[in-house]
Amino acid sequence: MTERQIPGWINPLAFLEVDEPWASSTPAAPTLEAILRFLCPADEPVDVQKLLSRYREISTEPVRLFLAPAEQRILDKLIWPLRNAKASYMVGNYLATISLSGMVAEMVAILLWEITDSRISGRSMTKEDEKRLFGSEFEKLGQERRVSVLSVYGVIGDRSKADFDEIRQIRRHYLHLWSQDHDRLPSDGIKCFHAAVSLIVTAIGQDVQEGRLVLNPRLVRYLERKGLYGATPYIFDDGSAALPEEIAAEGPCECGRSACVNRPGKVYCRWTRDLPEWVIRKRLYRRCYDELVICPRCGKNHKRGHIGKLGDCGKPYGDQEGQTD
């Protein structure tokens, strides 16, 4: 029998500058370059230009994520893994990009289900209902099953379903099949990453209206229920949002009725600092403010918010700032 030889990598998993005994014989800490050399593919030289060009390659997502709620679980389960997926691509670790994008997609599916108040016979679905309907709790279903449930219940549209499917299929090929070749690995990594970004954007919601960010209202309600809604913006019924520090005053509308204009009850309002001082002092819901009324002071027909206002009301307050006579 003849001996056969194949080329080999010596110590393929070792970071020699750190491993003993090399490390103890060299007092200096490993350089950043040595660390980068370990992080990058073993079969190519470290090249900053190459790292940057990979960053540019993957930073071409059609949908951008430009803000994330600073909520720990969202950061831990969605945002930082996605950032690591991108960083992995930079250092040529495309499999990590795919597997982290896959993890993010699973988390998005669970989050989307959590923030949806799925109903059965007119009440919210419980974990027991989920078991009876799907065979197990939603969170414990396989990803393919989760996505089809989300689709059937109308939680996601065709676009998101396609993103979920793409990530799952690519991920399955690379992470579960020995026979999958790696020649399309980088471009598949990019596809997974882009699909994961667009899924997160769908879950978080990032419409901008009148220069303000609008989060997915379902996510907002979910964060409120969890008592986590603090540092993220308040959402107003006109679709705008404001951070807590932008709120000048808050409280129920002081229009003096039990129900505000076009609303089933009294509206709890938050007035932002960018509003005129007069408007903040009136403490009226915006629709109650704009409602035309017979003014109790001047008897003319004008906006409720303009009662006593110089220039609008026939009998303006003597003290305009204090809104008293």
The answer to whether residue 280 forms part of the interface with Zn ion (CB under 5 A) is no
Round to whole Å and give the CA distance between 146 and 226: 23
The answer to whether residue 149 forms part of the interface with Zn ion (CB under 5 A) is no
Are 238 and 286 in contact by the 8 Å Cβ rule? The answer is yes
CB of 294 to Zn ion, least distance (A): 9
**CB nearer Zn ion, residue 83 or residue 266:** 266
Round to whole Å and give the CA distance between 226 and 71: 11
CB of 218 to Zn ion, least distance (A): 26
Question: b vs e for 3-24, b when ≥16 Cβ sit within 10 Å of the residue's Cβ?
Answer: eeeeeeeeeeeeeebeeeeeee
CB of 302 to Zn ion, least distance (A): 6
User: Residue 97, SS3?
Assistant: helix
The answer to whether residue 285 forms part of the interface with Zn ion (CB under 5 A) is yes
Token pair in block for residue 143? 């990803």
Which residues between 63 and 82 bind Zn ion (CB under 5 A)?
Answer: none
Residue 181's CB is within 10 A of a number of other CB atoms, namely 9
**CB nearer Zn ion, residue 142 or residue 318:** 318
**CB nearer Zn ion, residue 54 or residue 303:** 303
- Residue for token pair 């129900």: 259
**CB nearer Zn ion, residue 62 or residue 256:** 256
Single out the segment in contact with Zn ion by CB under 5 A; choices: 3-11, 200-208, 216-224, 298-306: 298-306
CB of 263 to Zn ion, least distance (A): 8
**CB nearer Zn ion, residue 233 or residue 305:** 305
CB of 322 to Zn ion, least distance (A): 17
Round to whole Å and give the CA distance between 308 and 192: 60
The answer to whether residue 288 forms part of the interface with Zn ion (CB under 5 A) is yes
Which residues between 233 and 272 bind Zn ion (CB under 5 A)?
Answer: 253, 255, 260
Task: Give the number of residues in contact with Zn ion, rule: CB under 5 A.
Answer: 9
Are 105 and 196 in contact by the 8 Å Cβ rule? The answer is yes
**CB nearer Zn ion, residue 204 or residue 267:** 267
**CB nearer Zn ion, residue 175 or residue 259:** 259
**Terminus-to-terminus CA distance in the chain, angstroms?**
111
Single out the segment in contact with Zn ion by CB under 5 A; choices: 11-19, 222-230, 232-240, 294-302: 294-302
User: Which member of 82, 107, 203, 295 binds Zn ion (CB under 5 A)?
Assistant: 295
Question: b vs e for 102-132, b when ≥16 Cβ sit within 10 Å of the residue's Cβ?
Answer: bbbbbbbbbbbbbbbebeeeeeebeeebbee
Are 95 and 175 in contact by the 8 Å Cβ rule? The answer is yes
**CB nearer Zn ion, residue 111 or residue 253:** 253
**CB nearer Zn ion, residue 23 or residue 298:** 298
The answer to whether residue 289 forms part of the interface with Zn ion (CB under 5 A) is no
User: Which member of 270, 297, 320, 323 binds Zn ion (CB under 5 A)?
Assistant: 297
* Of residues 106, 98, 107, 112, the one with CA closest to residue 73: 107
Question: b vs e for 238-257, b when ≥16 Cβ sit within 10 Å of the residue's Cβ?
Answer: eebbbeeeeeeeeeebebee
The answer to whether residue 279 forms part of the interface with Zn ion (CB under 5 A) is no
Q: Would strands 234-235 and 212-214 be described as parallel, antiparallel, or unpaired?
A: unpaired
User: Which member of 298, 317, 320, 323 binds Zn ion (CB under 5 A)?
Assistant: 298
User: Which member of 65, 165, 313, 320 binds Zn ion (CB under 5 A)?
Assistant: 313
User: Where along the sequence are the contacts to Zn ion (CB under 5 A)?
Assistant: 253, 255, 260, 285, 288, 295, 297-298, 313
